[in-house]
Structures are given as structure tokens and as C-alpha cells.
Amino acid sequence: MDIKHAKDYLYWLYFQYLLITCCYVLEPWEQSMFHTIFITVFAMVVYTGYVFVPIHIHLAFEFFSQIFGGQHESTVAIMN
Amino acid sequence: FFCYFLPFNEHFEQAPMYVAVFTYLGFGVGTLFGYLRDFMRAWGLEKCHLATEREEQKDFVPLYQDFENFYTRNLYMRIRDNWNRPICSVPGPQFDLMERVTDDFNWTFRFTGRCIKDVINMGSYNYLGFAETDANALKTVADVLQRYGTGVCSTRQEMGNIDKHVELENLVARFLDVEAAMVFGMGFATNSMNIPALVGKGCLILSDELNHTSLVLGARLSGATIRVFKHNNMQSLEKLLRDAIAHGQPRSHRAWKKILILVEGIYSMEGSIVRLPEIVTLKKKYKAYLYLDEAHSIGAVGPTGRGVVEYFGMDPDDVDVLMGTFTKSFGAAGGYIAGKKELVDFLRTHSHSATYATSMCPPVAEQIIRAMKCVMGLDGTTQGLQRVCQLSENTRYFRQRLHEMGFIVYGNDDSPVVPLLLYMPGKIGAFARRMLDKNIGVVVVGFPATPIGESRARFCVSAAHTREMLDTVLNALDELGDFLHLKYSRHSRSSHPELYNETSFELED
């Protein structure tokens, strides 16, 4: 019963994707072409995200912590 | 700046932003694939089903412009099986459909020979249910057919003026409470052939943005200057009127010979009703003339079915030219123009339709006479009034349930034309096909007839629909709305009916 629900839900999601991208009206070979291109682009986006996003976040964190960390030290020196 | 006696509720809710984005995305994908297919057709990689010139004529001036029909070729053709479906019975509340299939993606069709029976009809303009085959009801029509035959074989001004026309015109004038009326054989031709007779060069036409093609064609044929005001927007109309009177004609600044305001009673693509009291106030203030096209509203609105004028409780003398058609509420064909006697006498001599077009054929005239007598109560029964009340009840019920379910529906609460918004091009085809699978016939409309981002399904409620039929349709719409994700409305909805579906309530002891 749960498997059937899951399968129905997945089919519903696939159908929504077909409707939104207007693939529903295309002929089968056009649909295959569109699916190939879409999956390729999506895979490239995911791969780029996986390779670059953690490094960028780490560098940004270091940059901002250097600014605020450096300022804190200078104010402490003046107080003393 | 006007207070209405009845509540005037019109909704034109906007869908969330992502819907518009996805709609344009869908059209973008369709366009890209359209370019690809055109390229393949041009380079011979694919067979071209369209008309092309012969090889020897390739160097001549082109007969067929390739890009003009881009949309038709590449987007309309793909979902073409939802339009022009052949019917093989009377278009009453249910009809029979001939089944047709396509082997090459809608370029050609073939009939399988089967007939799909009893499809619920939500697309025909059958507002009062007069599209019927009941022998008792059509008795007078059959008699007239026996006496007069079917053809008239002449125009109104020559030998085509039959006593049935005179009887019908007197009846129409009585129905609308005006001095005189004139009937024509075709509704579209009534507009397009009579507006040129009423206005000409040196006159100004102020026409609503969403007017029907027949009004636009008539206005263009007349040669008058045309200015368009925003749909049902009285500020826009007043601004145009003030500019016209202050500045006069474009270069000579002389006064306009006539100013004619063209509006419709119910707009068939939006389901909105015209703001008649405000327009009449404006027209009296600025001394313009009003032409009201009641194609969809005659017989369908108003406490006794006499159209928008009665719906607002106004005097028919305030509207200069009352025009309407018999195709929608009376189950026949043709149109009429009614108003003061001088106007109608002028049209009898000067109208193109009267001079050149064949007049209405007698059985059709008799059908209108019997339908109108039924609505007015002159046949001794209250059937006409019952039909009008049933229509208004059906309309209110249908619209209220659709709002509750969460669909975006345009238009006035009292109009029997119900446009349900679909937005995305992929959903147009899916909606129509799935409704037909559930044995319900609907009309879907897309780009050229509606703005590109607002395609819709248009339901026409009829007095002949029973509550069970409407419930069947509403349940199917509910299911399909969830499956296709069409319930975009962001207004609050009433509680889901499933909560009250229990057949027995057991009280815990």
C-alpha cells in the first residue's frame, strides 16, 4: 500500500514536470531529447555546486571573521 | 461614484508569480522545439504537411509566409484534437460525440466509427435549454416547416420579407419593451453589417478592449476613428470622452459628428458584466450614443430574462441601440437590433444585411417565437420563468462550489459564463483530454483568443443541467484540479467536504 502511494506520488511529480515544462505536448523523440538536455544541465549544476560551494563558504567565513576578529583586538588595545 | 442596488461582485484574481514564470517557460520550450521542427522541415529532414509552392515557383514572390503561422504550426497543431470535435446529436445538456483518433500527431484524423454517448455538455451556449428535440415543444416549428419550407431565397428588401419576420419583430420589441426591432439571419453579420450603416467617417467609436470580433470588424468597416478603453473601466472611458469633446477630430479640431460607445452585456471570455448604470450616466453627461451587444446576456441575466438592462433595473430607452443574438439563449440562429422606431426604419433601408443578405428562414423564426413566448409566459405556462430561475440557481451553485474548491475563476457572480484559469500551455491539452475521458465535454481557449499568459477553460452553465450533472462535473473538476495542480486561489476556502462524508455517526457511550 505504501509502495503504491509512493509510486503514485512519483508519477504525479513526473507528470507535473511534464506539464510545467510543456513536455506533455511534445512527440516522444522530442521528449527524450528534452529529458537528456535537462538532466545534463541539472547534473552539471549539481556537480559545480558540489565542487565550488563549500570552498566559497569557507573562504567567506574566514574573510568576515578576520574583519570582526581584527576589530575586536584593536578596541581591546585602546581600552587598556 | 455610483451605488448599485444589488451587490456587484467581480473577481479577477491574479495567480502567484511562479505560475507566470512557468507559463512563459513552457511557451519558451515550445517555441524552441518549434524552431527545431521548422528547421527540419526546411532542410527536408521531415515531411512537411503544410501547403508549399512548387519547385518551379520558388523564385517568384512567396505565396506562403513561413513565419506567420509559426504558432499554429508548432503549438496549436500539437493539441488540435481538443477543438472541432464533431457532434452527432442535439447540443443539449448531454450530447453524443464521434470518436476520432490520429496516427500522425494531429495532422490528420480518422473516425473509428464509434459514438461516445451522453457526454455532459459544458461548452454549448444553451443557457435556457432550448436546444431540445422534444416533439411536443417543436410542434409549431414542424407546422411552419410544412407550410413555408426551409429556404427563403431572397433578401429582406426584395422578396424575403415573410409575415413570420414581422410577427417576430413585434414580439422582440414587446419582449425588450422598446418601440421597434429588426431581425437578421446571422448574429455576426448583424454587428458587422449594421455598425457601418450607423457611423461613418468623421464619427468616433469608443470600444471596449475585449469586444468581440464582430464589433471590431463592424467598427473597422465603418471607417470611423476607433479608440479603445480599458475593459469595463469607467475612468478610462471618461478620460477618452473628455479628450474627444475637448480636442475634436485629429487635425481639423472640428466636433465629432457622432460618438458611439460599443460595449457588450456579458463578455464571453471573461464572464464579466458591463457597468451599465455608470456608462449611461457618462453617455448622458457627454451626449454620446450607446450600442449594447447583448449576445450572451439576453435571456440569461435579469429576473425575467430580459438581459442586462433589466438586471440593473434600468429603462431600455436609455440605451440607443440594443443588439442581441438568438443563437445563445433561444436555441436558434440570427440577431436583432432594437430601439426607437426611427432607428429601425433607417436600418431597414440602409443596412447592408437587409439589402444583400438572405433573411432568416421561417422554421428558425418560429423557434425563436416559441422560445420567446415561453420565456415571457405567453404560452400559458410558467416554464419560461422556471428556466430563468433554474439557470440563475445553477450559475450561483456552480460558481460558489468552484470558488470553494480553490480554482481561480474570473467574472461576475451572476454570469453563466464561467472561465476557469489554466495558465500553462501543457495543461490546456491535458485538461481537455482528461475531462473527455471522464465523459465531460469542455471548451478550452488559448493564445490568440486570450492573453498569452492566461489560457482558460470556459464553462457555459445551462438551465437544462440537473444538480446531479453539475455535481458530476464538479467532482471531476475537484479530482482533476488536484491531479493537474490547478487550484491556485489564495483566498480562504471553506472546510473540505470530506469531513462531512460520514454515513453514520456513532456516539461514543
**How is B212-226 classified by DSSP, letter by letter?**
-HHHHHHHHHHT-EE
Nearest to B33 among A15, A16, A30 (CB): A30
Nearest chain B residue (CA) to A27: B105
State the Cα–Cα distance between residues B185 and B190, nearest whole angstrom.
8
Which amino acid belongs to residue A71? Q
Backbone phi, then psi, for B108, in 5-degree steps?
-135, 155
Provide, as residue numbers in chain B, all residues whose Cβ is less than 8 Å from the Cβ of A27.
Answer: 105
A44/chain B closest Cα distance in angstroms: 20
Indicate yes or no: CB of A20 within 8 angstroms of CB of B484: no
A20/chain B closest Cα distance in angstroms: 6
A-to-B residue pairs, Cβ atoms closer than 8 angstroms: 47
Backbone phi, then psi, for B259, in 5-degree steps?
-120, 120
Nearest to A22 among B36, B425, B484 (CB): B425
Cell readout for B237 is 472611458
Backbone phi, then psi, for B410, in 5-degree steps?
-90, 160
CA atoms within 13 A on the CB side of B15: 24
Nearest residue to B431 via CA among B455, B451, B453, B450: B455
Q: Hunting for cell 492573453 — which residue is that?
A: B451
Indicate yes or no: CB of B426 within 8 angstroms of CB of A12: no
The predicted model scores a pTM of 0.88
Q: Hunting for cell 450607446 — which residue is that?
A: B290
State the Cα–Cα distance between residues B120 and B106, nearest whole angstrom.
24
Provide, as residue numbers in chain A, all residues whose Cβ is less than 8 Å from the Cβ of B79.
Answer: 25
Nearest to B22 among A20, A23, A27 (CB): A20
The 3-state DSSP class for residue B115 equals strand
Indicate yes or no: CB of A23 within 8 angstroms of CB of B425: no
509 residues of chain B, pLDDT tens digit each: 455 667 777 888 888 999 999 999 999 999 999 999 999 988 888 888 887 788 888 888 888 877 778 888 889 999 999 999 999 999 999 999 999 999 988 999 999 999 999 999 999 999 999 988 888 889 999 999 999 999 898 998 988 899 999 999 999 999 999 999 999 999 999 999 999 999 999 999 999 999 999 999 999 999 999 999 999 999 999 999 999 999 999 999 999 999 999 999 999 999 999 999 999 999 999 999 999 999 999 999 999 999 999 999 999 999 999 999 999 989 899 999 999 999 999 999 999 999 999 999 999 999 999 999 999 999 888 999 999 999 999 999 999 999 999 999 999 999 999 999 999 999 999 999 999 999 999 999 988 888 888 999 999 999 999 999 999 999 999 999 999 999 988 876 654 444 444 444 444 44
Alpha helix locations (H) across B111-233?
139-148, 163-176, 187-198, 213-222
Residue B137: CB atoms within 10 Å: 15
Cell readout for B398 is 456552480
Chain centroid offset of residue B329 CA: 11
Q: What is the DSSP secondary-structure string of B314-377?
A: --GGGSSEEEEESSSSSSS--EEEEE-HHHHHHHHHH-HHHHHSB---HHHHHHHHHHHHHHHT
* CB of B420 closer than 8 Å to CB of B407: yes
Nearest residue to B334 via CA among B326, B323, B342, B344: B326
Nearest to B427 among A19, A23, A30 (CB): A19
Nearest chain B residue (CA) to A31: B33
Nearest chain A residue (CA) to B484: A16
